[in-house]
Structure 1
């Protein structure tokens, strides 16, 4: 994941299950190259099309915050552009724009969400519906962090069980913790954007060396203003 305050956009790539290609190209550079580019997503996807088809399957999420539409003045209330949220997958070779207020994505195609994603959207709707004022920011961050650390299992999930018949129970929660396999969630990122274009970026990561039994979490916070 990467965010560019100067270009007012975010890029995020999620791996999808599928047959691994021999000598597959790196999926990670798709995010970094997009953030450095000034091209809109449709042009960028066309530009990288041949390259993306040589990558293992992925879901790419683009958020355009409309930074150029933010208005700053002491004499009037800032305008509030609606972020444009789009996804592209080389599995379907389609771009889709999402009009919904609350969205959730995971390691599956958006039209086939995992059960924990559907549950996460419901939690997100409740949290953001209650805590949507600047004065609520501290509590909002706390509750979003609890959401990201949620270990509640969301079963049955036929899709997850067919993909991971041995580990589907451990993978059915938003927070994944498999100590015996030394595998699981090790980082969270929360991004808040105010109507004025002020952005808070909070990263919560397990401190190295990682002890899955007794993890030590460290938090880093960054602040930006989207450039007009």
Structure 2
């Protein structure tokens, strides 16, 4: 399971940020992956890479500051399509092309990052409904369910994000903002009851009911946090905190990668 929370602050006059996005990637610890970095085949794209054989170097999330694109993919359990293609390259192909959002895949976020076009466009697409929906909300959260049927931990996380961004929306508070956003992503509080999660995962719903997932006996859980801050002046901070491979489930070692960009009109 994975989770993402978004703050769209473009219409918040007191806020210095036009966009804040934070995300957890939950995955099997033994699945090989590359940490966030500029891609060798396209240095304009920053993101992790799935190195599992057969996944063709796909990604779960990537950002292209120069192209003004951000793409993120979430799995929707239980949805099966005949002759379905692998989702491994949906985001990576989108990031490296001029592909419109309508062709891009299961869940993508896209906007023009430059200060001259500051209005974020946050859209979701699911192959379960084959519909694209644009979200005007200031605070958003998505996980492994249909966007209009959020898990309880998504609703809780949105409330946490509302509190944090309401207090820490000035550039001078950036260090504390990053610290509190990281704590949100590491939150292990269970959010139950959740009938949707319990019916889907009757054996593991308790372990999966928190924002930070930790199942060491199953060698599965949250193994990467991503934080992206975009100020209204056009400065972007892109941060990933991830488990260093090989992963010790009992005593994981976390490493941090950080990148900054000044986007020009």
Rounded Cα–Cα distance in structure 2 between residues aligned with 1:71 and 1:223? 22
CA 115–83 in structure 1, closer or farther in 2 if over 3 Å, else same = same
Rounded Cα–Cα distance in structure 1 between residues aligned with 2:86 and 2:117? 36
CA contact (8 A) 1:70 1:81 kept: no
Structure 2 equivalent of residue 202 of structure 1: 239
User: In the alignment, does 2:109 pair up with 1:72?
Assistant: yes
CA 169–190 in structure 1, closer or farther in 2 if over 3 Å, else same = same
| Larger RCO, structure (CA 8 Å, separation 6 or more) | 2
Q: Would you tell me which structure has more strand in proportion to its own residues?
A: 2
Alpha-carbon offset, residue 213 of structure 1? 1.2
**Structure 1, residues 180-207: CA drift from partner, whole Å, max 9, x if none?**
1111000000000011111100000011
CA 226–76 in structure 1, closer or farther in 2 if over 3 Å, else same = closer
Structure 2 equivalent of residue 217 of structure 1: 254
Alpha-carbon offset, residue 33 of structure 1? 1.3
Rounded Cα–Cα distance in structure 2 between residues aligned with 1:75 and 1:98? 16
CA contact (8 A) 2:107 2:126 kept: no
How many residue pairs were aligned? 204
CA contact (8 A) 1:116 1:173 kept: yes
Q: Which has the larger radius of gyration?
A: 1
Q: Which runs of 5+ in 1 are unaligned?
A: 41-64
TM-score by length of structure 2 reads 0.70
Rounded Cα–Cα distance in structure 2 between residues aligned with 1:218 and 1:6? 26
CA contact (8 A) 1:170 1:177 kept: yes
TM-score by length of structure 1 reads 0.80
CA contact (8 A) 1:190 1:202 kept: yes
Equivalent in 10, 14, 17 of residue 77 of structure 2: 17
**Structure 1, residues 61-108: CA drift from partner, whole Å, max 9, x if none?**
xxxx99999999999996671211001111100000000011000011
Structure 1 equivalent of residue 134 of structure 2: 97
RMSD, aligned α-carbons: 5.6
